[in-house]
Amino acid sequence: MIKVDQHSAKTTKMDIGSKLKFFRIQRNLKQEDLARGIISVSYLSKIENNLTSPSEEVLQLLCERLGVSLIEQQDDTILSELIAWYKLMMTSNGDEIRHSYEELGRKIQTANTKTYMYFVLFELRYHLYLQDLEQAKLLIHKLQQFNDIFDLQMHYYFEKFYAIFSYRLNNYADALKHLKVAEKLLQRNTNFDSSEEADLFYLFGLTYSQTTKVPLSITYTTKALHIFQAIYDLKRSAECQVLLGICYRRIGEYDRSEESYLLAQKLSESLNNKYLQALIFHNLGKLYSIQRLHPQAIEEFEKSYYLKEDRGLDSKLNSIYCLLMEYDNMEDSTQCRKWLEIGKSLLTSPDELVEYHYYFTIFDYVLADNMDELDVYFQEVVLPFFQQQDLKEPIIKYAERLAIYFESCYKYKKASYYYSLCYQELKKQTFLY
């Protein structure tokens, strides 16, 4: 028999009705499902909104149907384990994160309401870590239903995690909206340590970088860097240096960009972190490429590629695509064909990473010097996809290439169309409108 006593409501800030609502939603039950045969739906609604208190007998029956006890005991140990699990997700230790999730999932069944709510919040962060956006969306919807019973810290975590969700969907304006709410909540709470503040600043830096608000990105990333350096978090310091390198590259400060990347490289070598090393080599490749230092860019992209043995397919294909573009810029068709075949061999399904199927097909046409057929393929297949996915850079790149080709053939109407397309996309990318 599940025990319920009258002291339940005094042991937590959450009222009995709020707790019942939380567990009902957590069990995916409607009010009708919980109330059936015990009380009316309207009476349950009043209880859940803390407008009335149920009798002990009614509370007992509701708890039995939910399979919970509302006796609130201190779960300091489990709560500490939850916080430790959350911090692991900020350090990307994959196996340990998954193991902790399984362990905590078993322990949490006997936890109190507050601890259980933290588990659901951090479960949202876990699915974001796994990039399981569908499951994350379901959890966000569930959490929104008991947003009114969050304490300050819960509210902070929810806003922060919602921002990460929006960022993953490339909805950067929405991400910034939630980050700004989280920042205000963070300022009102003294219980967070400095690493939490630094992580939030880093998220601001990432998001402002994606919206090309480079000065703001540099400001927030520098704040995060100073905190991570003060607490000797070398990995996060390296990540900040990489982001600063990207920002400096975008505003043409190439020397400062290279300096940031090389500082990050030293840190990643001391940590023996292959993921970071691959990321740094890739970004050094992009830095040298934009300066038309193609041999140096190729060297960095190749180093990045060969460090990606355990990485996802999209990461490897990204390196291959960058190598293709560099060899194409050097007019080295032999190396282009070599890397094109490597890339195509990694794509085993036509539905897999469609973007790269299109890139590689474009290079097939280019290497065959078949620009007229590329024109048709680009118009009918590639351009609609790129526009739908908001991929401005490849539209600009290939529109310009086709424009130059048609101009050289004296097909000025076609050339004019592609130059116009290129200009329109450039306006969007550089906010000239």
What percentage of residues in the chain have a pLDDT greater than 70? 92
For the segment 364-421, what is each residue's pLDDT rounded down to a tens digit? 999 999 999 999 999 999 999 999 988 888 999 999 999 999 999 999 999 999 999 9
Fold of 8-66: 434 Repressor (Amino-terminal Domain) (1.10.260)
Query: What does the pLDDT read at residue 23?
Result: 80
Q: What is the mean pLDDT of residues 244-268?
A: 96
> In the numeric block, which tokens belong to residue 118?
């933290």
9-61 pLDDT per residue, tens = 333 445 678 778 878 887 888 889 898 988 898 888 888 887 888 888 888 88
Mean pLDDT of 330-352: 92
CA–CA gap between residue 190 and residue 294 (Å, rounded)? 50
73 pLDDT higher than 70:
no
The 10s digit of each residue's pLDDT in 273-307 is 998 999 999 999 999 999 999 999 999 999 999 99
Please tell me the predicted confidence (pLDDT) of residue 288: 97
pLDDT at residue 332 in the model: 96
Between 4 and 315, whose confidence is greater?
A: 315
- Give the integer Cα–Cα distance in Å for 169 and 211: 14
- pLDDT of residue 213 exceeding 80, the answer is yes
Query: Which part of the chain has CATH 1.10.260.40?
Result: 8-66
Angle between helix 354-367 and 333-346 (nearest 10): 150
Contact present, 136 and 128 (Cβ < 8 Å): yes
Coil, strand or helix at 180: helix
128-173 confidence digits (pLDDT tens): 999 999 999 999 998 988 777 788 999 999 999 999 999 999 899 9
Show the tokens assigned to 350. Answer: 């036509």
pLDDT score at 330: 95
Predicted confidence band of residue 93 (pLDDT cuts 50, 70, 90): low
pLDDT of residue 432: 34
pLDDT at position 8, please? 36
Q: Does the structure show a pLDDT above 80 at 431?
A: no
Q: What are the tens digits of pLDDT across the range 419-428?
A: 999 988 887 7
Question: Binning pLDDT at 50, 70 and 90, where does residue 433 land?
Answer: very low
Cβ contact 142:120 at 8 Å? yes
Contact between residue 182 and residue 164 where contact means Cβ atoms under 8 Å apart: no
Confidence of residue 111 (pLDDT cuts 50, 70, 90): low
- Contact at 8 Å (CB) between 254 and 280? no
Task: Round to whole Å and give the CA distance between 314 and 249.
Answer: 23
- Alpha-carbon span 19 to 34, nearest angstrom: 13
Residues 2, 61: Cα–Cα separation, whole Å: 9
CA distances to 48, 178, 190 from 187, rounded to whole Å, are: 31, 14, 7
Euclidean distance between CA atoms 423 and 433, whole angstroms:
11
Regarding pTM above 0.75, the answer is yes
